[in-house]
Amino acid sequence: MLPYEKNRTRMSGLKDIVRDAPFGQLLRYATNNRVLKYPEELDDFHCPHGYDKPGSKPTGPADTSATLTARNEPDLEKTESHTQDLEKVETAPDLEKLQSRPPSSSSSTDPERPTPPRSDLQRLHTQPYTQERLAEDIALHKTRSAAHAVAPVKTADGLILVDWYTTDDVANPQNWSQAKKAWTSFLVCLYTFVVYASSSIYVSSELLIMERFGVGEFKAALGLALYVLGELLHTAGIDTKLLMSCVQDMVLVRCCLRRCRKVCSLRTDGVSVKLIGDVVPQFGRNIPYISTLAIFVILTVPTSLVDNFGGLIFLRFLLGLFGSPCLANGGASMSDIYSMLYFPYPLAMWVVAAFAAPALGPLLSGFSVYAKNWRWSQWEMLWMSAPVFLLFLFFLPETQPTTILLHRSARLRTRTGNTHIRTQTEVDRKGVTFGAFLLDALIKPIEICLKDPAVLFVNLYTALTYGIYYSFFEVFPLVYPPIYGFNVGETSIVFVCIIVGCFIAVGIHFSYLHWYLIPDILSNGLRQQEHRLVPAIFASFGPPIGLFLFGWTARESIHWIVSVVGITIYAASCFILLQCIFTYVPMSYPQYAASLFAGNDFCRSLFAFGAVLFSRPMYVDMGIGKGISILGGLSIIGIIGMYALWVYGARLRARSRFAV
């Protein structure tokens, strides 16, 4: 490619990013779509075959991303006919026929069924992801075979279901350039970091708040606890489950939903399951992001200026509430744009942003609040979040495939006048009531948690590890200032050991993925879900070891670095534990993954909220060593439970009516 062609490609990519960003969409709305046009709105656009109005002459698309040359596609009609027939088999809207089809028909190795011309990573996402198909997908993804046209599915009642025009359609987030993917991932991680760091950035100013408002330690801790409570209410499903996208997209098995996230019946190993996709695809990812982040930025101003304690903690609660969509959307955004096999890499980096940010929060304000005043920590939230909001406003493209296809469907209807053009999402949402979604969002997580022992254990164990993490914000001020003479700023530096442990764990996790898991999947296919728990069995020894080392070495006679090493061990092992658990759960319960993650978020945030409030009195009354020993003893139960889940997990799934 010539230099000027590269520059033109970069400019086109930047224009597409701005067009798909919230600002570009607002500008299009204000100008009635006269600026920043999509290919379907250009004068020289020709509808792909299958979308044109009945009676018109079908032609191929003029857009370069969807154009098929005679050299690459010598028999276009034959290929389109073959692809259309294949899609009818794979995505037939008649659910009864699909359920009655034998499980072997879904395999790519079936000799009676032609092999698809392109990896399912790019277009067919409503079939079970078998071992054979995984190997085939990765092989095809690496070879980057020539593009093929994707004919739309036509239903029995005459509807035309919109899909990607070709297997390398640039509108598909899976086909974005690596630079565009990296930029989008960076923005999401940056947003996640800001929100999580804002929870603990308050900690360094607690003593000054106590002095300013004349409150005790318990009330001062409410500023942190209520922020976490706001996250709890948001992720529990009160509005996230209904207005935001599902956390179900965070996991590898959500491949079945990547094309249209429809309600569809599938067969996985002969078991019929029902997969529930995103609730309100019209909103996509960007509307929840930009609307709640705007409120978050606005709320930081009164939080920094408020002059009464009640107003301060109430505003902190609202900040947690409106800052938490990244908990539901962050991992889902990553899964939209990265292929399934390599999705754990960007997901791990997103988890790093969420896991390490609370530890860095006290350091960001530890020195400044005493150099200025307690309000400085809240102003820092504004300085962090406002630039992120501007970046989101101008440069964050929409990543949700459901939303992209929904908008494409509307443009094609306008262009062709064909009112039969729809998306699968529009078809599936017809007749589904708001009350049904609300009932499922609130009841299903509780039902599964109470009736399934594996889910109950996972929720309790992750809640314990998360609560212990947040108890550090109360115990560190009781250890390092009085025992080792640290000031507030130096105490905040101790939290960096959590970040060190996090990056150590990332190195171990990436090595595990690169040297073992991915080659094992390519060689042996997908194993049983319990195979993903093997690293967690070893990692489960880390939390009690780290806690006991911290609790019983925090004394004047022992150097402070020993206790810091204990916290580092705890952080590293917890990171690996969470990675394994958050992969195992949705693989075992794919049809309820969104509900399970909502329930797990609720348990973790609830225990963290309580830990912030009860940990300081516990440590003061019992002593650091005994208080930590209680938490370390509870962590030992996690070792037993994790081993039991690895051994008996398959039997529990066989008895559970929720598991696969």
Is the pLDDT score of 257 beyond 80? Answer: no
pLDDT band at 190 (very low <50, low <70, confident <90, very high): very high
**CB neighbour list of residue 483: distance below 8 Å, 6 or more residues apart:** 554, 555, 556, 560
Fold of 153-162+173-432: Growth Hormone; Chain: A; (1.20.1250)
Indicate the domain borders of the chain. Answer: 153-162+173-432, 433-660
Q: What is the pLDDT of residue 255?
A: 36
pLDDT band at 434 (very low <50, low <70, confident <90, very high): low
Please give the share of the chain, as a percent, with pLDDT higher than 90. 39
Q: How far is CA 25 from CA 16, 123, 179, 217, 605, in A?
A: 11, 25, 22, 47, 34
Query: Number of C-alpha atoms within 13 angstroms, CB side, residue 194?
Result: 28
H and E: helices and strands count for the chain: 28, 5
| Higher-scoring residue by pLDDT: 104, 294 | 294
pLDDT band at 516 (very low <50, low <70, confident <90, very high): very high
Whole-angstrom Cα distance, residue 649 to residue 660? 11
pLDDT band at 429 (very low <50, low <70, confident <90, very high): low
Question: 76-85, 157-166, 186-195, 197-206: which range is least confident on average?
Answer: 76-85
Whole-angstrom Cα distance, residue 304 to residue 186? 28
264: DSSP letter: E
Q: What is the pLDDT of residue 448?
A: 81
Average pLDDT over residues 308-314: 94
Whole-angstrom Cα distance, residue 439 to residue 442? 5
Is the pLDDT score of 104 beyond 90? Answer: no
pLDDT band at 445 (very low <50, low <70, confident <90, very high): confident
SS3 track for 539-596: HCCHHHHHHHHHHHHCCCCCCHHHHHHHHHHHHHHHHHHHHHHHHHHHHHCHHHHHHH
| Higher-scoring residue by pLDDT: 526, 65 | 526
Question: 113-117, 311-315, 555-559, 560-564: which range is least confident on average?
Answer: 113-117
Question: To which residue do tokens 């070495």 refer?
Answer: 553
**What mean pLDDT, rounded, does the chain reach?**
77
Average pLDDT over residues 12-24: 88
Q: What is the pLDDT of residue 417?
A: 84
Q: Is 271 helix (H, G, I), strand (E, B) or coil?
A: strand
| Higher-scoring residue by pLDDT: 430, 313 | 313
Contact 192, 357 (CB under 8 A): yes
Is the pLDDT score of 76 beyond 60? Answer: no
The CA-CA-CA angle for residues 87, 88, 90, to 5°, reads: 60
Q: Are strands 160-161 and 421-422 parallel, antiparallel or unpaired?
A: parallel
pTM: 0.78
Q: Are strands 271-275 and 160-161 parallel, antiparallel or unpaired?
A: unpaired
Task: Give the CATH superfamily of 433-660.
Answer: MFS general substrate transporter like domains (1.20.1250.20)
Q: What is the pLDDT of residue 113?
A: 33
| Higher-scoring residue by pLDDT: 168, 631 | 631
Whole-angstrom Cα distance, residue 367 to residue 424? 54
**CB neighbour list of residue 241: distance below 8 Å, 6 or more residues apart:** 279, 437, 441, 594, 595, 598
> What confidence tens digit (pLDDT) does each residue in 171-182 have?
999 899 999 999
Q: What is the pLDDT of residue 441?
A: 64
**CB neighbour list of residue 88: distance below 8 Å, 6 or more residues apart:** 153
Is the pLDDT score of 520 beyond 90? Answer: no
Question: 252-261, 585-594, 619-628: which range is least confident on average?
Answer: 252-261
pLDDT band at 478 (very low <50, low <70, confident <90, very high): very high
| Higher-scoring residue by pLDDT: 635, 521 | 635
- In sign, the C-alpha dihedral spanning 76, 78, 83, 84 is positive
Q: How far is CA 99 from CA 3, 106, 272, in A?
A: 53, 11, 7
Six-digit token string for 307: 């002059």
> What confidence tens digit (pLDDT) does each residue in 30-40 have?
999 999 999 88
Is the pLDDT score of 293 beyond 80? Answer: yes
